[in-house]
């Protein structure tokens, strides 16, 4: 499987106020598709999706403070990350897009959908959910943020990797990449995202207003955004289809790219071809 950037890859470095945000473009003949990674990752999360989506113009941003994108001081609310995306789209001259997001990327996609519904041709929500953090999760995020401030991502890499890909039969290479992405996230990026996620509001009230075709994908073994939550979200969004990916956890696109790609390709062919 060709999961590397193609020879035609374009790296956009987009100035936004006093930072530069990186968006990888894989040129293709079809409509633009933008995929947002989760926390604390970067655009390599989508490495297995490039071949399947080669017919589209694929855009893979590194969110602020993640991957190659610059950091700014925390916090990064989900709305501020959605505003980064809006400015990137304006800079790239992209009007209407199919927008996908995994987990935190999905929180950002839902914030974008609430503010800019007219810019969406389709929505893809992977291993994500619309709910706000319960108090115990907020406390855990504050504790993690404090440790990252002091000692960087090394302070939390083991517990995050265990939460994200631990306790199951996951390809060691996927585990290694997961750890590499965590360790590659900047200190401010990690704290900014933790603080932003902890204060995000419940997006459930906005789900009924989503009017574009929507695909929800969930790993059958996802314990962070489990299938029951995905089913509730699918029931609340008027034009939602739900695909459950057997044998995958929270990082379904990395863990079972074959099944995720089939679901994405089938949905996009019907929704935006």
Tell me the C-alpha distance between 49 and 143, whole Å. Answer: 34
Q: Is 38 in the site for ligand MLT (CB under 6 A)?
A: yes
Are the beta carbons of 218 and 230 closer than 8 angstroms?
yes
Report which residue's Cβ sits closest to ligand MLT: 38
The tally of CA atoms less than 13 A away on the side-chain side of residue 21 is 26
Q: In whole angstroms, how close is the CB of 30 to ligand MLT at the nearest point?
A: 27
Are the beta carbons of 39 and 81 closer than 8 angstroms?
no
Q: Between residues 21 and 271, which has the closer beta carbon with respect to ligand MLT?
A: 21
What are the distances in angstroms from CA 202 to CA 97, 199, 206? 24, 10, 9
Q: Is 103 in the site for ligand MLT (CB under 6 A)?
A: yes
CA-based nearest residue to 88, from 145, 43, 52: 43
State which of residues 104, 109, 248, 272 lies at the interface with ligand MLT (CB under 6 A).
104
Q: In whole angstroms, how close is the CB of 68 to ligand MLT at the nearest point?
A: 18
- What's 74's DSSP letter? S
Binding residues among 218-237 for ligand MLT as defined by CB under 6 A? 224
Q: Is 253 in the site for ligand MLT (CB under 6 A)?
A: no
Lookup: tokens for 85: 């995306």
Peptide bond before residue 177 is cis, with ω within 30 degrees of 0: no
Strand 57-61 with 120-126, pairing = unpaired
Q: In whole angstroms, how close is the CB of 66 to ligand MLT at the nearest point?
A: 10
Q: In whole angstroms, how close is the CB of 138 to ligand MLT at the nearest point?
A: 11
State which of residues 23, 60, 197, 234 lies at the interface with ligand MLT (CB under 6 A).
197
Q: Is 177 in the site for ligand MLT (CB under 6 A)?
A: no
Q: Is 100 in the site for ligand MLT (CB under 6 A)?
A: no
Binding site for ligand MLT (CB under 6 A): 38-39, 103-104, 197, 224
């Amino acid at each position: 499987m060709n999961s590397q950037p193609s020879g035609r890859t374009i790296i956009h470095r987009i100035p936004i106020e006093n930072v530069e945000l990186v968006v990888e473009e894989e040129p293709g003949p079809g409509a633009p598709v933008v995929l947002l990674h989760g926390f604390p990752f970067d655009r390599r999360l989508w490495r297995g999706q490039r071949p399947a989506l080669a017919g589209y113009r694929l855009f893979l941003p590194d969110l602020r403070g993640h991957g190659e994108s610059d950091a700014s001081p925390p916090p990064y609310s989900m709305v501020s990350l959605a505003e980064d995306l809006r400015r990137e789209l304006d800079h790239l001259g992209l009007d209407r897009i199919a927008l996908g997001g995994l987990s935190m990327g999905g929180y950002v996609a839902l914030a974008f959908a609430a503010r800019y519904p007219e810019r969406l041709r389709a929505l893809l929500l992977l291993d994500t959910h619309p709910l706000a953090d319960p108090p115990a999760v907020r406390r855990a995020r504050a504790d993690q943020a404090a440790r990252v401030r002091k000692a960087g991502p090394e302070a939390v890499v083991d517990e995050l990797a265990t939460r994200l890909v631990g306790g199951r039969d996951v390809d060691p290479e996927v585990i290694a990449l997961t750890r590499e992405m965590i360790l590659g996230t900047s200190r401010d990026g990690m704290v900014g995202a933790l603080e932003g996620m902890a204060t995000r509001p419940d997006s459930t009230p906005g789900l009924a207003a989503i009017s574009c075709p929507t695909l929800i994908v969930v790993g059958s073994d996802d314990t962070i955004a489990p299938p029951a939550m995905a089913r509730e979200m699918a029931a609340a969004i008027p034009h939602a289809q739900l695909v459950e990916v057997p044998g995958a956890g929270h990082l379904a696109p990395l863990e079972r790219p074959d099944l995720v790609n089939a679901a994405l390709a089938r949905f996009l062919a019907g929704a935006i071809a």
